[in-house]
Copies of this chain bind each other. A is one copy, B any other.
Amino acid sequence: MKKTFLKNKRNIQFLIIGLGLIGGSVAKRLSKEGFEVLAIDKNDSNLNYARKIKTINGSSEKIDNKKKLFVIVALPPKIILRKFEDYLNIFNQADFITDCTSVKETLLKKIKKNKLESKFILSHPIAGSEKSGFLNSREDLFKDKISIISKHNGLANNTLKKCKELWFELGSETHNVDPKLHDEIFSLTSHLPHIVAFSLISLFSKRKTSVYKKYMGGGLKDFTRIAESDPNMWENIFSLNKKNLLKDIREIEKELKKIKNFIVKDEENKLEKHLKKIKKIKESLNR
């Protein structure tokens, strides 16, 4: 990709708000590429450590208004909403702003309310880990991943271009997905599976885990990685994507009930036919 906005590295400052897994990984990659990176984090020791290992160059006191300020908000989705007004000063100074969260519609309302829709663009890198925090961040977290950009009305053309350049710099390809559709898709492909995984582990914990845990390899193990994900972030996501998620929970309940009824009624042929259809669908997804 031909760089336009990120070409002159001396002319740009990146400010990362929230130096956790995602923010830390962005910071590590950009500083490695020779950009100046600043960061804000509630945790001072995070900031000190990041400065010590030269991931960042300082905090907001180093903002230089002769340079272009690119802001990447990497806070959990509810915290962004709650603290949005605290950062308005910075957002107003910024040349470009994006986020990294997996719920879009509520944040877009906030952006519009604060008349930032021209330069604040929604991003969602599909690159996480069940390990959270700055200590788990790594410069290649976004390499060969997809980052979703959710365009909205009122966006300046060059904001989209800047955002694409940013994710390209971080190693990702970008897809454009409408904010509303984004939230519907991720409710099903990510948020619901997390609820199911959390539920399976909760159920599991009610058995004699010391014995049961030896035999998780026959299926349960596949599900459990994501049950180790950050509880605060996932509570945020579940609450903010409430509407889509409640619909999807009701639908998975129906699917479970369907199989349950086949078993209850000993409808072996119907059950096998149902499973065959599902296997076929799954195989078609691999293509």
Chain A residues proximal to chain B, CB less than 8 Å: 102, 126, 128, 145-146, 148, 175, 181, 185-186, 188-207, 209, 211-220, 222-232, 234-235, 238-239, 242, 245-246, 248-249, 251-253, 255-256, 258-260, 262-264, 266, 268, 271-272, 274-279, 281-285
**Contact indicator A266/B239 (Cβ below 8 Å):** yes
**Contact indicator B199/A279 (Cβ below 8 Å):** no
Q: Most B CB atoms within 10 A — which of A219, A229, A259?
A: A219
CA distance A281 to B203 in the complex (A): 11
**Contact indicator B189/A218 (Cβ below 8 Å):** yes
**Contact indicator A189/B215 (Cβ below 8 Å):** yes
Q: List the B side residues contacting A231 at CB < 8 Å.
A: 272, 275-276, 278-279
CA distance A227 to B196 in the complex (A): 15
Q: List the B side residues contacting A212 at CB < 8 Å.
A: 185, 188-189
**Contact indicator A227/B189 (Cβ below 8 Å):** no
Q: List the B side residues contacting A272 at CB < 8 Å.
A: 231-232, 235
**Contact indicator A239/B271 (Cβ below 8 Å):** yes
**Contact indicator B285/A224 (Cβ below 8 Å):** yes
